[in-house]
Amino acid sequence: MKDLLSPTYLFKSILDIEYKKINKKILFFDLDNTVIDYNTVFPTDDYIKLFENLYNEGYLIYLLSNNHLKRFNEVKNRLKYIKFIYHSFKPFKFKIESLIKKDNLNKNEIVFIGDQIITDIVCANKIGITSILVSPINKSSERIHTLFNRLLESILLNVIKKNDIDKYNKIEKIIRKDY
Ligand SMILES: [Mg+2]
């Protein structure tokens, strides 16, 4: 269980990730609270700039969200070179596994980046790819289903707490933005 819940890396935000060091050319990003908060459909300029830079450096970029297509539209217009997958059904892996197969992606080249353990990190670990947990952009924008996920997340994290208190504290810091 603890292996399913553990992110490979922790960073404060997608702006802080050391992409060169991570050395994966295919980037899977979660959308909500990883790229934009729940109150908006507009990515901020620094996030748009980051995606432009990554694209120009040759990264293959995907946005994978459990949310619906409508919520994607504005982001899609701003970031035309990104591939979008909506209704991704994380933490279930079937949709993302089929994407990996369809686009002929090498799992060793992928890193999955998101703000929730029980959707993003569990999904990445089920598929067997590297993962990065980032802090949610705006915790107060989270709605009922995410709050439920957070509750479940805090219960499940006790498994890590029992096994590795240092790791647990580091993960908690990222989730709570306590730094
Ligand atoms: Mg999210």
DSSP 86: -
Ordered by where they begin, the domains of the chain are: 2-176 (3.40.50.1000)
Both tokens assigned to 37: 């908060």
How high is the pLDDT of residue 145?
A: 86
172/88 Cα distance (integer angstroms): 26
CA of 86 to the centre of ligand 1 (A): 12
Report the candidate in 165, 151, 130, 150 with the shortest Cα–Cα distance to residue 38.
150
* Local mean pLDDT, 10-residue blocks, the chain (179 residues): 91 98 97 91 91 96 86 81 87 94 98 96 97 95 89 93 95 93
CA of 29 to the centre of ligand 1 (A): 9
CA of 21 to the centre of ligand 1 (A): 23
Q: What is the pTM of this model?
A: 0.94
CA of 141 to the centre of ligand 1 (A): 11
CA of 162 to the centre of ligand 1 (A): 26
